[in-house]
Amino acid sequence: METAQSLSTNPFVGDRQLRTCELCGNEYDKCFEVRMSDGTNHIFDSFECAIHVLAPTCAHCGCMIIGHGMEANGRFYCCAHCANQQGVHELEDRVVSTMERRTS
């Protein structure tokens, strides 16, 4: 059973651990960790910093993809229009082509 003394430890005041954002170097006790699918870890103080480091950029227009985006042939696109401009058409036509394949 916990004593009143142990409960008095405020998790937001005591035992704060300063961590450093890997992009801007800000030391902040509310930094968060992002674990990538390949097992690498990143530490950031804000989502903005995380986006700058981790978000893929569109292979056509160069904007940062912070939504789902699209991936084709190992390249990322922000939208079907950009994929189209790079000669990738299956992203838009995926539904149609699978239907065509079924009928033929």
* 83 interacts with Zn ion by CB under 5 A: no
* 78 interacts with Zn ion by CB under 5 A: yes
CB-based contact 31:44 (threshold 8 Å): yes
* 82 interacts with Zn ion by CB under 5 A: yes
| Of 18 and 24, CB closest to Zn ion | 24
Phi-psi region of 12 (alpha: psi -120 to 50; beta: other; left: phi over 0): alpha
CB-based contact 44:19 (threshold 8 Å): no
Binding stretches for Zn ion (CB under 5 A): 21, 23-24, 26, 45, 49, 58, 60-61, 78, 82
